[in-house]
Amino acid sequence: MSMSIRNQIPGTVTAVTTGEAMASVKVRLTGGQDITAAITADAVKDLGLAEGSAVRALVKSTEVSLATGPVEGISIRNQIPGTVAAVTTGGAMGSVKVTVQGGELTAAITKDAVEALGLASGVPVVALIKSTEVSLAAA
């Protein structure tokens, strides 16, 4: 199935904690980074997710925020370090491609943010992704 979601990163489930309605699924990405997805308990069951399951973590580019360094004192658990590979800007928005270990992420952010953060090829950044914005697909 083809999808418009640009960020599709393979990984392996390392832990599943299921509550009544929601579950927290920890995934080790191919580059070695750990991310957490908050998905429904029904989705865990339907996908047959368990420790060792191969998955793809899916994140829309509009749900990836960028910082110029690690961020403390924030509830966002997924912080993936990388380096800006390319920046494309238009009148209002920008698309920033970030090379991370094992792959690439794309962030759609405002042109003002691109300028304020001084984003350009080679600049180190941290991609921030809320766990509720990570979807999982069985690989």
Q: Read off the pLDDT of residues 5-27 as tens digits, 9 standing for 90 and up.
A: 989 999 999 999 999 999 999 99
Mean pLDDT of the chain: 96
Residue 3 has pLDDT above 90, yes or no: no
Q: Could you tell me the pTM of the whole model?
A: 0.93
Identity at 6, one-letter amino acid code: R
Quote the DSSP letter at residue 44. H
Beta strands in the chain (DSSP E): 7-18, 22-29, 34-40, 54-59, 65-67, 78-89, 93-100, 103-110, 124-129, 135-138
Residue 1 has pLDDT above 80, yes or no: no
Whole-angstrom distance, CA of residue 74 vs CA of residue 77:
8
Instruction: Note the pLDDT of residue 66.
Output: 98
Instruction: Note the pLDDT of residue 6.
Output: 87
